[in-house]
A = this chain, B = another copy of it.
Amino acid sequence: MSHTVVILAAGQGTRMKSARAKVLHEVAGRPMLGWVLDAAIATRPSAVMVVVGHEAEAVRASLPAGVSSCVQEPQNGTGHAVAVAMAAIGELDPDHTVLVIPGDTPLIGGETLARLVEGHHSSGAAATVLTAVLDEPAGYGRVVRNDDGAVVAIVEQRDADAATLEIKEVNSGMYAFRAGDLEARLAELRPDNDQGEYYLTDVAAGSVELGRMVRAIVADATQIAGVNSHAQLAGASAVARRAILETLMAEGVSVVDPARTYVDHGVAVGAGAILHPGVHLHGASSVGAGAMVGPDVYCEDSTIGPGARVWYSVLRSASVGAECEVGPYASLRPGTVLKKASKAGTFVEMKKTVLGERAKVPHLSYLGDATVGERANVGAGTITCNYDGFEKHETHIGDDAFIGSDTMLVAPVTIGKGAFTGAGSVISKDVPEDGLGVERSDQRVIPGYAARRRARYRKRDG
């Protein structure tokens, strides 16, 4: 039997005190809504409809292909939101299942939602509510069951008597509905409350009142937690990060301190890799088998090859090949490609630069818009003067070249294969293969200069 998912993502997140839509706040590097969508899509629904409201355009822009959206305006409660969604979805077979979930429960798992849908199908209920058992249920709606386990009431905290308050099974706000029952109940919904809003809880309650079968399925308490504040956001992020790392560790990755390692959903890390504390792996990043990463590495949209060692460095849209060494204290900016066994050492920055196999840039250098040949050695203090104040230009360094310390490579310029440059030279003309380029005056030595200067200062200050 097929089903449709409705995700409620119209809220503003007033308690976040943020202009952003609440569901776009990030948990472990991706918007909450992305996590919820993943769980929804994992149930293989026939369609997904996201109800958007505040910051509607930004929320829509975050949706993957194949997911529909509709706008709830004004935001008149969760029941109203579902009614808007049902109108947008169009006619459904009355026996079709509609799964309704909030957009701000990033820890919900796909297998839990699948269990909800399957349980709903097999019982033939009008509505099935996902619940959880909490040690401290205060604030939540309580789920009252009869001896058969059927739901006979969902009672809000404020309406509950003492006996009901003792119940620890609570409503998660996630439901599977029979489409026919959902539509009939939505049509009957009235805003009989102080806020004048239409509540989804009343849909389930309405089915109960009419004697229709309502069931409940219990989920892990962690999974139903909604995020309504930055503190809850931080808490959910910690749980999500830990789950990502548990998966990596089970696959053979060493994580020295999981509480201090920040890996986004979807980042692949090979077996035998070691992640030291303070590592951030974000976006479309990957780490090869046996690589050592960290301490203190920020890696965004970058690949780190097998057996590489990257520590105390920042990588953005960079590619680090197998067995490369990066850091401590390197910054690899977009377009940097380090081929196999090459090195970007200490206080080295690169941008749009390709470093050939076994080439080395050990210290204090800036290379931009450059290519460096295989086995070339770039001395400390080398800078590609790639910007003349008006335009960017390219630098090319041949295989086996030896760039002397403090060489200024005034681009566009080419250093031939096997060529040398003298330390401290400004190289503005090409150097041929196996040649030397040097720009230097003669060194002068002035005996006694320092002694005389000291004496002068001493006299003046004396």
Q: Footprint of B on A, CB under 8 Å?
A: 15-19, 25, 229-231, 233-234, 237-238, 246, 249-260, 262, 271-272, 277-278, 280, 295-296, 298, 311-312, 314, 328-329, 331, 346-347, 349, 363-366, 377, 379-381, 383, 385, 387, 389-390, 402, 404-406, 408, 410, 418-420, 422-429, 431-432, 434-451, 453-454, 457
Which of B256, B298, B444 interacts with A234 by CB under 8 Å?
B256
Which of B277, B383, B447 interacts with A380 by CB under 8 Å?
B383
Given contacts A16-B252, A380-B383, contact A432 B445 (CB under 8 A): yes
Instruction: Say how far A324's CB is from chain B's closest CB, in angstroms.
Output: 17
Could you tell me the distance between the alpha carbons of A148 and B449 in the complex, rounded to whole angstroms?
92
Could you tell me the distance between the alpha carbons of A425 and B311 in the complex, rounded to whole angstroms?
33
Contact in complex: B328, A331 (CB < 8 Å):
yes
**What are 22 A-B residue pairs whose CB atoms fall within 8 Å in the complex?**
A230-B253, A238-B257, A257-B260, A277-B280, A278-B296, A296-B296, A347-B364, A349-B364, A363-B383, A379-B383, A379-B387, A380-B385, A381-B381, A420-B449, A420-B453, A425-B443, A429-B443, A429-B445, A432-B445, A432-B447, A434-B449, A435-B447
Contact in complex: A443, B448 (CB < 8 Å):
no
Q: Which B residues are CB-close (under 8 A) to A451?
A: 418, 434
Could you tell me the distance between the alpha carbons of A346 and B351 in the complex, rounded to whole angstroms?
12
Which residue of B is nearest A444, CB measured?
B438
Instruction: Say how far A440's CB is from chain B's closest CB, in angstroms.
Output: 6
Could you tell me the distance between the alpha carbons of A383 and B436 in the complex, rounded to whole angstroms?
20
Which residue of B is nearest A28, CB measured?
B256
Instruction: Say how far A334's CB is from chain B's closest CB, in angstroms.
Output: 14
Count copies of this chain in the complex. 3
Q: Which B residues are CB-close (under 8 A) to A425?
A: 424, 443
Contact in complex: A435, B446 (CB < 8 Å):
yes
Instruction: Say how far A259's CB is from chain B's closest CB, in angstroms.
Output: 7
Instruction: Say how far A330's CB is from chain B's closest CB, in angstroms.
Output: 9
Which of B18, B402, B443 interacts with A272 by CB under 8 Å?
B18
Which of B250, B272, B331, B440 interacts with A329 by CB under 8 Å?
B331
Could you tell me the distance between the alpha carbons of A197 and B257 in the complex, rounded to whole angstroms?
36
Given contacts A262-B277, A440-B441, contact A234 B252 (CB under 8 A): no
Contact in complex: B366, A366 (CB < 8 Å):
no
Contact in complex: A249, B230 (CB < 8 Å):
yes
Q: Which B residues are CB-close (under 8 A) to A231?
A: 246, 249-250, 258
Could you tell me the distance between the alpha carbons of A377 and B450 in the complex, rounded to whole angstroms?
14
